[in-house]
Structure 1
Amino acid sequence: MSLADRRHFSEPDGVVPTLRPLTAYLAERAGSTRPAFTHLDHASDRDGFRHTVTWAELARRVRAVAAEITRTTTPGQRVAVLAPQDLGYVTAFLGALHAGTIAVPLFAPEVSQHGGRLVNALADCAPEVWLTTEPAFDSVRALAEQQPVPMPKSILAVDRVDLAAGEGFSAPEVDLDAPAYLQYTSGSTRDPAGAVITHRAVVTNTWQGGSAYGVDDTWTCAGWIPFFHDMGLVQLLCLPVFSGAHSVFMTPFDFIMRPVRWLRQMSEHPNVFTAAPNFAFDYTARKVKEADRAGLDLANANVVINGSEPVRPDTIARFLAEFGPYGFRAEAHRPSYGLAEATVFVTNTRDEGPTITGFDRAALGADRGVTVPAGSPGAVDLVAAGRPHGQLVRIVHPRHRTLCAEDEVGEIWVHGPNVADGYWQQPERSAETFGATIEDPDADTPATGWLRTGDLGLCHDGLLYVTGRMKDLIIIDGKNHYPQDIEATVQDAHPAIRRDHVAAFAVSSPGQGEGAAVVAEYRRQADPTQVDEEEIVRAVRRAVSAEHDVRLRGVILVRPGGVPRTSSGKIARAATRRRYWDDQQRVDQQRDDQRRDDRGRRER
């Protein structure tokens, strides 16, 4: 294999077929009495009461909601979905698409702590219609009346809509290149931005993900990822409509309360396709007791995506050790990579399952991927994120914008019909992110139209390895340090530190240049009044110095829940730095200034 072939991940397999708008696939099943979506309602029944809608029933509900939407607004206008995660959300989202409007998948005010993100998104795109359900109607109306958001023309509870409203309704013809919905990003460092996902992008990406994993109408798309998140929306809502698979879902809260419920989804349904961030695998392995595992048969889990945050080798090993005895197959675990700006799916692991490779830590710090035995001293063990399907992925030097060679770290760039058109009404930011050009490309690489992901990675043996985020990279004395690498060392440094609740970030001090600091949560079982904080700090400093040759500028310990996360569950490093480091620096500076002023007055 030539160098050019290897740096292209062996080229993307799969040619994108001719596709139609998503709701056209729903219309095909309008006469089917097979189950389409099932909401497992654990609020009314501990074991999950099943609310199921057939394809025929869903098609009728969607027509009725689309007809009601067109009474208030016109095609091309924004329509927000502010519903709880239930069947009403499915109807609302598809109804907005069927009406030819631009859906804005958000969430009901009472089901999330990310109220600021909700307000910012609504203010940004000013939807004319808000869709919700009867249980959430009052809180949604209060949001309109009490928050600084544009007042909608109508707030519609989709479960109140008379099904007769859809009789005779003729949906507007939809252009595949018109916007289908706005996918708002988590906004961990900047105000949320709405990625404009066209009808072509969403249906292409559902085909890419579905065909790469082999999903068809005999499968079950199961899980709990929120519908307002790109992975939940496509995996649990759009892909079932496209493929005809049965979607069985619950709320994220129901998963957190009893993670065994996720395992039971895998056990009780055929040919399961599910997805979750890395933390969910650790959480499930740690929280599900032996008594709750009786009767599990996880052989039904065909594909279990691990994505949305760095995938850790020890997580893969732990999950297999815990649930392999219950039928979970090693090759079912599929580390993958994606982002909202590419709709969601970019690269995925295939039937071979996880591939773990050791890379020399010092070489990675110099942007080179030098392989060493996994688990050896000085090794960073990385999990491959697979390869693309029906789209192009390249590793590009972020400054020179030239193609990187095999095993050279650079920025991950994406090109394909699944890429968003840009950010809603943000032309400059859109041009920066979606309009990138590769200098001196080869014959197999388009020069223009590239999505800059902001993620760093390398290609090794035809597989993508994600090494970190450009904006999070810590550079000390010219050497690169990845925050997630330091965070893993910190959480293992002392038993009182809570796993997966550590944030490492770059800091600057006058006269000292750039350094690093960490904020870590205590374990929930640890009593802050009984632990020796100085001992913990010393242990953290020693571990980071020994493993990374980094002297931390600060170690801050906080109570459980103190390290902020984005709406998708990722550690919000920039927000953590602002909350604990920048604020403290300002307080310290004000105190020093006051001391100087006091000293000056005394001297006078």
Structure 2
Amino acid sequence: MPPAEVPDEVLTTPFTDFLLRNASEDRPAFTCRTFPGPADHTLTWPQVLARVRGVARELRRFTRPGDRVAIVARQDLDYVVAFLGTLYAGLVAMPLSVPTGRTHRARIESAFADAAPAVCLTSKDLVDKVPPAVVLAVEDIGPDDTEPPAEVAMTDPAYLQYTSGSTRRPAGAVISHRALVASCWQTTRCYRADASTPLAGWVPFFHDMGLVLLIGTPVFLGSRSVFFTPMEFVRDPLRWIRLLADHPGAITAAPNFAFDLAAEAAGGLEAVDLSHVNSVLNGSEPVRAATVEAFERAFAPFGLPRAAHKPCYGLAEATVFVTSAGDEGPTVTAFDGGEPRVSVGRPYGQRIRIVDKEIWVSGPNVADGYWGRDEVIAPDGWLRTGDLGFVHDGELYVTGRLKDLIIVDGRNHYPQDIEATVEAAHPSIRRVAAFAVRDDRGEGVAVVAGCTAPDDGSVETAVRRAVSAGHDLPLRALWLVRPGAVPRTSSGKVSRAAARDRWWGENGRHD
């Protein structure tokens, strides 16, 4: 696949140079939308730079070059300032979530143990809830007009992107300044974005998709970012759709499950105009053909072009971006009479190859390694993603995860396919995790499924019959739980590893 090349002038320009250029114009930079209301809170580019300089000034009081700075803050303007201030100071940012819930607290503690941050930037009301470190409340840091940016090499670490942990213990992928600007260029080139293009959404900043699209790319372009919190999306998925209508030409992104939630809620949408939406990126988890169809049915009456829906593929170790659909929109193909598969498009500014069914990636956006580990991310310049796929007519199709592959009686089964079968078996099924288990009968398949119906036996019967008919597999175990109990990673994906550990382990059985 011959890709476009990232220009040398991009790969040699420090990220903070783009911020300095933007501050020469008094234009809106970042807007945080809050609810109820809604109410918009905005910083202009000069205001962003002044606050970033203030954060850098304070960080330099407690750090040395190369120190890590954890960001454990709410998704608001302070998070933006904290991240950019850390890079401006020449330090290594650790974008993390707020410490709510057992899973998020465990991830934060794991990251602190992994990278030993010298300082933690946080929200004022979270100061007493973060792990021990020098803790600074971003709201209390005043602006500065003179603090200079640090001199950094393009190969220096900019931040640590902690992986979602869907298949392994979270690890901090080391993203260099070079990889960050390369990924921003790839995004803007793919979607033909410029300084007039709004970037909009709600995906969390501690996730690579939210960080690069809603913070990195606006700085790179000098465009405007408009965002709200993931919790506000969950409370009303149509807030996402209204945001796009409010900002014509917007680019946005979300995992596949968000498209399902928005389509289900579409009946409550008032008259809005979506005809000017640039791109709605669907990535971070498998893109389902049924979702593509449902989203189109739901929002075509409001003018949303089918071509605006752009399935894509990426991973933390590639900063975020690998492939995406282009102007053609989603391509759905049924191979050999099987289930329809959705293409995730073509690469921009990098290369991909398929080796023994595994997707390999090479490009300037690939991470250098994992923090504190000898593991090489891209030996010989190629990142082994661990994802399975194939190329057809020049487009990439992702079929599964190498480490999640289930082998029963010599036959390979992708958990995504089994999960799709379970979801289609009964209308009350909402989220599903399928995974391999092992006992004295050898390897088998178990499923944890979120279910909204009473447990009268009919749902279990429907699921077991569907899996048996569709995959010629008996389920070794099936647990029907409330939908919210199916464990998810920090990015919203189903965590098969956590589901296996919790349910198979709780029942006294282990791989």
Residue 39 (structure 1) aligned with residue 19 (structure 2):
no
Partner residue, 1:297? 273
- Pairwise mapping of residues 88-487 of structure 1 onto structure 2 (< 5 A)? 88-110=78-100, 113-134=103-124, 136=125, 139-144=126-131, 151-152=132-133, 154-163=134-143, 166-290=144-268, 293-360=269-336, 372=337, 379-397=338-356, 410-427=357-374, 430-431=375-376, 433-435=377-379, 448-487=380-419
Give percent identity, aligned residues only: 54
After TM superposition, the score normalised by the length of structure 2 is: 0.96
Root mean square deviation of aligned Cα: 1.6
Which of 445, 448, 451 pairs up with 1:516? 445
Q: Whose radius of gyration is greater, 1 or 2?
A: 1
Residue 16 (structure 1) aligned with residue 3 (structure 2):
no
Q: Does the C-alpha gap of structure 1 residues 29 and 494 become closer, same or farther in structure 2, counting only changes over 3 Å?
A: closer
Report if the CA contact (8 A) 2:310-2:325 is conserved. yes
Offset, 1:270:
2.1
Structure 2 residues without counterparts, runs of 5 or longer: none
For 1:387 and 1:350, locate their aligned partners in 2 and report how far apart those are by CA, in whole Å: 8
Structure 1 residues without counterparts, runs of 5 or longer: 1-9, 145-150, 361-371, 373-378, 398-409, 436-447, 590-604
Report if the CA contact (8 A) 2:439-2:509 is conserved. no
For 1:187 and 1:545, locate their aligned partners in 2 and report how far apart those are by CA, in whole Å: 30
For 1:241 and 1:83, locate their aligned partners in 2 and report how far apart those are by CA, in whole Å: 20
For 1:541 and 1:519, locate their aligned partners in 2 and report how far apart those are by CA, in whole Å: 12
Report if the CA contact (8 A) 1:84-1:111 is conserved. no
For 1:551 and 1:142, locate their aligned partners in 2 and report how far apart those are by CA, in whole Å: 46
Offset, 1:495:
3.0
Partner residue, 2:57? 67
For 1:186 and 1:123, locate their aligned partners in 2 and report how far apart those are by CA, in whole Å: 17
Residue 537 (structure 1) aligned with residue 484 (structure 2):
no
Report if the CA contact (8 A) 1:16-1:390 is conserved. no
After TM superposition, the score normalised by the length of structure 1 is: 0.82
Q: Deviations over 1:502-533 (max 9, x none)?
A: 111112231x322212111211xx2x3xx412
Offset, 1:111:
8.0
SS across alignment from 2:508: helix
Which of 482, 498, 504 pairs up with 2:434? 504
Q: Deviations over 1:465-509 (max 9, x none)?
A: 00000111111122111111111111222233x22x111111223
Report if the CA contact (8 A) 1:37-1:246 is conserved. yes
Report if the CA contact (8 A) 1:30-1:60 is conserved. no
Which of 422, 441, 447 pairs up with 1:490? 422
Report if the CA contact (8 A) 1:108-1:140 is conserved. no
Partner residue, 1:584? 507
Partner residue, 1:565? 488
Q: Deviations over 1:78-119 (max 9, x none)?
A: 011111000000000000000000011112224885110011
Amino acid in structure 2 at the alignment position of 1:506: A
Q: How many residues align?
A: 509
Q: Which runs of structure 1 show a deviation greater than 6 angstroms over 4 or more consecutive aligned residues?
A: none
Report if the CA contact (8 A) 1:222-1:236 is conserved. yes
For 1:556 and 1:278, locate their aligned partners in 2 and report how far apart those are by CA, in whole Å: 23
Q: Does the C-alpha gap of structure 1 residues 480 and 243 become closer, same or farther in structure 2, counting only changes over 3 Å?
A: same
Residue 25 (structure 1) aligned with residue 31 (structure 2):
no
For 2:97 and 2:443, locate their aligned partners in 1 and report how far apart those are by CA, in whole Å: 39
Amino acid in structure 2 at the alignment position of 1:21: P
